[in-house]
Structure 1
Amino acid sequence: MLGHAAVDVLARDFEVHATVRDPDRARRLGLDVPLHALDGAGPDAPATLDVILAATGAEAVVNCVGLVKQLEEASRPVPAITLNALFPHQAAEVCAARGARLIHVSTDCVFSGDLAPPDRYGEDDLPDCRDLYGRSKLLGEVVEDGLTLRTSIIGWELERASGLLEWLAGQAGGTIRGFANAWFSGLTTRALAAVIGELIADHPTLTGLYQVSTEPISKLDLVTRLDRALGLDCTIEPAAEPRVNRALDSTRFRAETGIEIPSWDEMIDDYATHTRPGRAT
């Protein structure tokens, strides 16, 4: 989900190479940058990444590899731990040896969501996730040898249809529930990619763990705005359950970088003007 958006946004200002499992398939889906085969779950992933860095001379590596919570594989220990926990640290070691900077993306799901709104989780709050996905992502956070951005995202997927936008688009004209007490402070994939671009260009020495968020929004408000912007004409029924608040506090990130995070209206308007990748709208 994030990878193809990062390629699209970052290629405007940088020379971008992308790693994918199947370069031929990725080209057919519209990825128009140099592609390199890499399977983050494979035993040869670190060695393959090292060869790619040696060949390209890359100065920065953005790790968008990971199993998202909606996928069945994320509930199985071997793939979840390999991709979400082990590979980021393997990539960090390879990058350090090659003098490249690693930017890794983590998730708000390291927290349980039991926090009462309007409070938000800070970097110093103890992660208290109870599921394999959250724990695997927590273990994958790279702090010493790179930059980890803890955040959450929505966006069009390149091929699969497991995310919020694909699900919502599939309900066009129908009736859906909107969760009034589920709070979200993430970014669209395009907005996060733009933030990463600013970090690469203007903050080359920033390392450690930082949370990146926008103003919290309820899932009810979010799907209502998306429905309107995308012209889906859904009937949205408010639902009081579930109650979950994974809103993140990004005060430290904003203060140290000066990067402005777009509002939800800005991010949604941007998505409404972009075609779904790999297919027609």
Structure 2
Amino acid sequence: MSRVVILGATGMLGSTVYDVLKDRHELVLVVRDKRKLALLDKAYGKVDKHKSIEFDAEKVHEDFLANNGYSRNYLSSFLEQLGEFDYAINAIGIINRSSAENEALTLFINGALPHILAREWGYKLIHISTDCAFNGIEGAPYDEDAPKTPSDLYGLSKSIGEPTNCLTIRTSIIGRELEGFKSLLEWFLHQEGQELRGFSNHLWNGITAKQFGRICDQIIQNPGLYPRTGIYHVFSDVVSKYGMLLGFKNKFNVDCTILEDSEPKLNRTLATKKELNSKLNIPSFSEMLSDL
């Protein structure tokens, strides 16, 4: 049984990764506010069986600003609390919808913090990045060598936060949230009785948060079979946002009307030059959806 750190364990991604790993590994749950662990326990249980540590990435940012770009005060204390571990999964990040609220903080947490963690932990770190490193207007499907062309602050912040001295997985994620309900899926689940537009030319080939958790488990259980450093694309089959909403509607029985719309066009689908994605045997979108 490995000792695995989950950074951001109460967020959309981190909470689902917790659910996948909670019975398979000794976990250290890193959260900004321990009070939110009650939500995690209510959703998935067994939180009391794992260690938890508070960590606020904003305080690392404040520390760096106060010390002209470098300080280990807050970070050092956190690292001492962690102790030894086998893997760390970084699910800390500022999401697209919130990225403009504090631009400097977004650039630090999404862009600088991954490099700081990778400097400390190297190959022990599994970090997630995004297809928003690409603008989706031209060049798709994008492989690992495609030039980065982010079109907004979120994409820029994530694209600069892709360390190569750890395992950085570039993908796109959908999943359930414990609170806040800002993601596409949670937004859709609150559209009962509404008329929605579904974009048939907005193409996507990401994965669910649960599938990402399973990928992490595969890598942790079989470290010799998978790469430990570098940037890798992980993806499933292609679906349009229109098809995705129809899938959500059928899966969750949401009584709404979805109108097909061909505009705007956006294609951020990923491809790969590397072997990792084929080794992982990613299920189809419909299979992952049935398991949400």
Using the size of structure 2 for normalisation, the TM-score is 0.84
- Give the unaligned 5+ runs of structure 1: 272-281
Q: Is the 8 A contact 1:109 1:129 kept in 2?
A: yes
- Classify the secondary structure of the residue corresponding to 2:231: strand
Query: Which whole-Å deviations, capped at 9, do the CAs of 1:33-85 have from their partners, x for residues lacking one?
Result: 3211001221255324412332xx211000000011122x4453211111101
Q: Is the 8 A contact 1:92 1:142 kept in 2?
A: yes
Distance 1:179 1:48, change over 3 A: farther
Provide the C-alpha distance between the structure 2 equivalents of 1:35 and 1:10, rounded to a whole number of angstroms. 15
Counterparts of 1:79-98 in structure 2, within 5 Å, are 79-96=105-122
- Classify the secondary structure of the residue corresponding to 2:148: coil
Distance 1:197 1:250, change over 3 A: farther
- Classify the secondary structure of the residue corresponding to 1:66: coil
Query: Aligned residue for 1:208?
Result: 230
Provide the C-alpha distance between the structure 1 equivalents of 2:74 and 2:151, rounded to a whole number of angstroms. 28
Query: Aligned residue for 1:192?
Result: 212
Provide the C-alpha distance between the structure 1 equivalents of 2:131 and 2:100, rounded to a whole number of angstroms. 15
Query: Aligned residue for 2:38?
Result: 27
Counterparts of 1:31-180 in structure 2, within 5 Å, are 32=47, 33-43=50-60, 46-54=75-83, 57-71=84-98, 73-74=99-100, 76-96=102-122, 101-115=124-138, 119-143=140-164, 145-180=165-200
Count of residue pairs the alignment pairs up: 261
Q: Is the 8 A contact 1:212 1:253 kept in 2?
A: no
Percent of matched pairs sharing the same residue: 33
Provide the C-alpha distance between the structure 1 equivalents of 2:212 and 2:253, rounded to a whole number of angstroms. 24
Distance 1:50 1:269, change over 3 A: same
Provide the C-alpha distance between the structure 2 equivalents of 1:217 and 1:206, rounded to a whole number of angstroms. 29
Q: CA RMSD in A?
A: 1.8
Query: Aligned residue for 1:278?
Result: none
Provide the C-alpha distance between the structure 2 equivalents of 1:155 and 1:139, rounded to a whole number of angstroms. 24
Q: Is the 8 A contact 2:124 2:228 kept in 1?
A: no
Q: Is the 8 A contact 2:87 2:125 kept in 1?
A: yes
Deviation at 1:208, TM superposition (A): 0.4
- Give the unaligned 5+ runs of structure 2: 1-11, 61-72
